[in-house]
Amino acid sequence: MIYLDYSATSPVDKKVLDTYNNVSVNFIGNSNSLHKLGIEAKKLENEATAQIKKIMKLKDEEVIYTSCSSESNNLAIKGVALRNQKKGMHIITTNLEHSSVYGSISYLQTQGFEIDIVKTNEYGLVDLENLKELLREDTILVTIIEVNSETGVKQNIEEIALLLKNYNCYFHVDATQAIGKIRTDYTNVDLISFAAHKFFGPKGIAVLIKKKNVLIENLIHGGKSTTKYRSGTPALPLIVSISKALRIIDENIDIYYNYIKELNDLLVKGLKKYKNVTINSNEYSIPHILNISVINIKPETFQHALENYEIYISTQSACSANNPVSKSVLEVTKNEKRASYSIRISIAGITTVEEIDQFLIAFDSCYKELNIGWFMRLIRVSSSWCVSCIITKKAWDELKEIYDCIEYDYDMDEELLKNYNVGNILPVIIIEQNNIEVKRIIGEKSKKEILEIINNIGVKIWKK
């Protein structure tokens, strides 16, 4: 099995799991309890929190524990908006955000908030001049993703934060794909979201870091916790685990970065040679995420073909895989076709060179199997009948085993393919008699179906 979907989620580190088990068994108190067990739990929680702040070089910020980054994003965006609406109802964001940011913002729009989308340049980077133009007296929040989950494009958060320092609005950064992969100075950022499961921590724990002076409305009412902003008994084993996972990844962050860059270079070199492959990630992308398009092959088809080799990659990001066009890839490439056929390969420090080599071998096979740039008049039927197919290489090889086949042209005309709305495999079967077309069957067909069609023609087909 080769896992190349680390940006969707990562397996938990065994050392982190040991910590989780240890804390679950040995620190049973509720950190809000006033007895000895509660005090012990609270002490451990405070140590874990202090460690997170130390690693992130933060001082006065409050660490609010949540269940996932989606929750952190909701709390940051809705929390700021609902608490500060008397000051203003204007929010600025980008076209590169995670759906939990769009979801929060869409909700706020229904409540009368006004949203502006800042422009990006040809690399998908925020246009600072446009951001300045959009900022208003009543702007209460700017929310910007640090590393885009699909293309890996990284915004210059320090520069944006410095600019926003001169304005009277809060700056929230969704750093979910950045933490554990790169280091950033968040000194001038007001709110930061990230989740443990992206850097070998357990699922179910995330944080929203908030500057002390930032006012937000809590979304959960009632209940008690260490913070008034997010109630619920503190999940101590998970809190200690996120802190530990962050410490472990942080110790290796630079070594991993350089190593992952080498793996990414190998991938790009191997994939660049294909005519129908475009690389959508660019020089501003972090090496952990590589987005490519295999033009004319549905991303799901390619994903499943790789799955046959036990290789796991992603179509768009796991959370937006149902949209036919990737909004993020469109924003970065400004090309609709590339945005419709994009897949994401994401690598981590535990990925090996052998895995990348095996991936490239499997990719080659899938590409050849699925590539529809083949036209073959293939089956000799009788002197007057003929069956032609636009067919994949793999299906062709299989049919050749059974039928007496003749190969004609190989390279399908691009224009002709467009007429058939190609994008799937085996889209057209044409049956002719005396060189005159009598039947045309269009649509994705499996090998079994194609054989049935051939067998049902009612004419003698010469089998080998």
Ligand X SMILES: Cc1ncc(COP(=O)(O)O)c(C=O)c1O
* Active-site residue set: 319
Q: How far is CA 130 from CA 118, 126, 142, 206, 289, in A?
A: 6, 8, 13, 32, 27
Tell the smallest beta-carbon distance from residue 13 to ligand X (Å). Answer: 17
Nearer to ligand X by Cβ, of 42 and 98: the residue is 98
Residue type, 271: L
- Total residues at interface with ligand X (CB under 6 A): 15
Q: Could you tell me if 76 and 218 are in contact, meaning their C-beta atoms sit under 8 angstroms apart?
A: no
Q: 61-80: which residues touch ligand X (CB under 6 A)? A: 68-70, 73
Nearer to ligand X by Cβ, of 192 and 236: the residue is 192
Nearer to ligand X by Cβ, of 88 and 124: the residue is 124
Tell the smallest beta-carbon distance from residue 251 to ligand X (Å). Answer: 23
* 375: β partners: 390
Structure tokens at 58: 């933060």
Q: 145-184: which residues touch ligand X (CB under 6 A)? A: 145, 149, 174, 176-177
Orientation of helix 14-26 relative to helix 236-272, angle to 10°: 170
Strand bridging mode 311-312 / 139-145:
unpaired
Tell the smallest beta-carbon distance from residue 235 to ligand X (Å). Answer: 14
Query: Which residue in the block uniquely carries the two structure tokens 């079967």?
Result: 429
Give the helix/strand (H/E) hosting 359.
helix 353-370
Tell the smallest beta-carbon distance from residue 104 to ligand X (Å). Answer: 11
Nearer to ligand X by Cβ, of 154 and 393: the residue is 154
232 three-class SS: coil
Q: Could you tell me if 312 and 318 are in contact, meaning their C-beta atoms sit under 8 angstroms apart?
A: no
How many Å apart are CA 97 and CA 126, to the nearest integer? 12
| Binding track, positions 102-141, relative to ligand X; x by CB under 6 A | ----------------------------------------
Nearer to ligand X by Cβ, of 22 and 106: the residue is 106
Give 167's DSSP letter: S
How many Å apart are CA 258 and CA 288, to the nearest integer? 10
7 three-class SS: coil
Spatial neighbors of 419 by CB under 8 A, at least 6 apart, are: none
* 195: β partners: 206
| Binding track, positions 179-218, relative to ligand X; x by CB under 6 A | ----------------x----------x------------
Tell the smallest beta-carbon distance from residue 158 to ligand X (Å). Answer: 18
Q: 297-336: which residues touch ligand X (CB under 6 A)? A: 317, 319
Q: Could you tell me if 438 and 432 are in contact, meaning their C-beta atoms sit under 8 angstroms apart?
A: yes
Give 324's DSSP letter: S
Residue type, 60: D
Tell the smallest beta-carbon distance from residue 77 to ligand X (Å). Answer: 12
Nearer to ligand X by Cβ, of 177 and 371: the residue is 177
Query: For residue 88, which of 136, 122, 139 has the smallest C-alpha distance?
Result: 139
Residue 98 is a binding residue for ligand X (CB under 6 A): yes
Query: For residue 195, which of 245, 234, 257, 255 has the smallest C-alpha distance?
Result: 245
Tell the smallest beta-carbon distance from residue 157 to ligand X (Å). Answer: 13
Nearer to ligand X by Cβ, of 7 and 351: the residue is 7
Binding site for ligand X (CB under 6 A): 68-70, 73, 98, 100, 145, 149, 174, 176-177, 195, 206, 317, 319
